Each structure stands twice: as C-alpha cells, then as structure tokens.
A and B are shown apart, each in its own frame.
Chain A
Amino acid sequence: MSEAAARTARKPRPKYLSLQALLFEIRLPVTGWISILHRISGALLFVALLWLLWMLDLSLASEAGFEKIKHYAHLVPVKLSLLVLVWASCHHFCAGIRYLFIDMDKGVDKETAVLTSWIVFGASFAFTALLGWKLW
C-alpha cells in the first residue's frame, strides 16, 4: 500500500450528515450562503403568499378593510414578519440577478463570484433598510 493510500484509508469517513454537522461543522463559503438563502427565501415567499394575498384582498375590498390592514401592519410582530418578507424578496431578487449573469457565463471565476456574493448581501440589506424605513 502506498503512503497516500494508507493516509486515505486511515481517515474516518462521515457516514451521514447529522444536524450538528450541518449546523456547526460544515463551513459554507459566502457563495454557498447566497445559494441556500436564495432557496430558503423563495420557499418562504411561496408560503407567505397566502398571507400577502389575504392582506391585498382585504385592503382593496373596502375602505374599512384598508384601515384594518393599515392598523394590522403596524403591530410589532406583523411589522417584523413583513420586514423578513421584504428582506426575502430583496435577497431573492439580488441573488437571482447574480444567477442570471452566471447563466450567461459572467462572473463564474472564484474571485468575482465571491465579490458578487458580498455585493448581493450588501445590496439586499440596503434595499431592505430603505424599504423598511420608507414603509414605517
């Protein structure tokens, strides 16, 4: 057995991905964070659509409904939930544009991909802050 083969054989192999491994042991690069958050934000927005449509429906149905939603949206838990959804929209939007460029073979090399990932994080937080400030 060669030296390299012996080293490989001694190395313990992970059998499965435990929750602990997923949460604490695997360090995702920034590009990986953009990717998984793109997926999570998309899924979140899909589920939240039920709530958002309900608010749109009520707010357009009557003036009383509009005032009710306006009051409802100012409750702190509702406000915070809406802010999370605003962030999810901004992240999904910015990361999505980055993926469109990557699909066209722009920014595929590692340095650019890392840089654009940070730009996506920065831009989505800036948009969230701007919209959050404008809305409340």
Chain B
Amino acid sequence: MSTHRIVTGAHYGLRDWLAQRITAVIMAVYAVIVVAGLLGSTPFNYEIWLGIFSHTWMRVATLLFVASLAWHAWVGVRDILMDYIKPDGLRLGLQVATLLVIAGYVAWAIQILWR
C-alpha cells in the first residue's frame, strides 16, 4: 500500500477543531484578566463599570472575546446538532437559526460596546 494516502473531504474538520481550541485560549486569557480585575476593583459602582468599557483597548479586547465566542459556539453547537438531530431538514434549519442567533449576539455586543 502506498504511503501517499488520498485524503478526501471538504477539509473543514481540522480547521474548525483548531479554531475552537485557539478561540478557547483567547477567551480563557480574557476571562482570567477581566475577572481578576473586577474582583480587585472595590467599591464597585456605575462610574467604575462605565469606566472599564470606555477604554478603546478594552472595547477591542472585548470584541475579540465576542468574535472568539461566536466562532467557538458555532463549532460547539454544530457538533451538538450533528450528534443528536438526525433529520437533515430539521438539522439544517436549526443550524441556520444558530447562525442567525450568533450574528444577532455579535451585533448586539458591538452596539453595547460602541454606544
């Protein structure tokens, strides 16, 4: 048998698998920094809360978190739908609905950050 295996398929499996892990690391780093920062900032009031999100770098970092979350959740939810929803039409419908929900979440997050 030849050592040169002919690999078939759409090749998005590895890309999605890797993307889910990279986005996970991005979110983990953001979460640890933000949670540690929030726990340290007492007393906690509206001025401080608004102040945190007024810095451009914080807005950009949060947007990166949101973008990572969107991609990560898409891979995860699609995995769940592929595992449990067997009728093709229903699964496709739910996948489209998931994408619309994710797009809505991202748009809303951008609107919240750059008010």
Report A's interface with B, CB cutoff 8 A: 39, 42-43, 46, 49-50, 53, 56-57, 59-61, 63, 66-67, 89, 93, 96-97, 100, 103, 131, 134
Q: A60-B53, A97-B28 are in contact. Are A46 and B73 (CB under 8 A)?
A: yes
Q: Once bound together, how far apart are the Cα atoms of A89 and B80, in whole Å?
A: 18
Task: Decide if B50 is an interface residue (CB 8 Å cutoff).
Answer: yes
Tell me if B's interface is mostly helix, strand, loop or mixed: helix
Top 9 closest A-B pairs, CB basis?
A: A66-B46, A63-B46, A57-B112, A46-B73, A42-B76, A53-B108, A96-B24, A134-B39, A49-B105
Instruction: List 19 other contacts, CB 8 Å, given A49-B73, A97-B28.
Output: A39-B76, A39-B80, A42-B73, A43-B76, A43-B77, A43-B80, A49-B105, A53-B112, A57-B108, A59-B49, A60-B53, A61-B115, A63-B46, A66-B46, A89-B31, A93-B28, A93-B31, A100-B21, A103-B21
Closest to B38 in A: A134
Least Cβ distance of A132 to chain B in Å? 12
- Report chain B residues within 8 Å CB of A46: 73, 76-77
Binding site for A on B (CB under 8 A): 21, 24-25, 28, 31, 35, 39, 45-46, 49-50, 53, 69, 73, 76-77, 80, 105, 108-109, 112, 115
CA A50 to CA B49, docked complex, whole Å: 20
CB distance from B103 to the nearest CB of A (A): 13
- Residues from chain B with Cβ under 8 Å of A57 in the complex: 108, 112
Cβ A56 vs Cβ B112 within 8 A = yes
In chain A, what residue has the closest Cβ to B42?
A: A134
Assuming the A-B contacts A49-B105, A97-B28, are A60 and B80 also in contact, with contact meaning beta carbons closer than 8 angstroms in the complex? Answer: no
CB B9 to nearest CB in A, in angstroms, measures: 20
Instruction: Tell me whether B109 and A53 are in contact (CB under 8 A).
Output: yes
Instruction: Give the residue name and chain of the A residue nearest to B28 (CB).
Output: A93
Tell me if A60 and B105 are in contact (CB < 8 A).
no
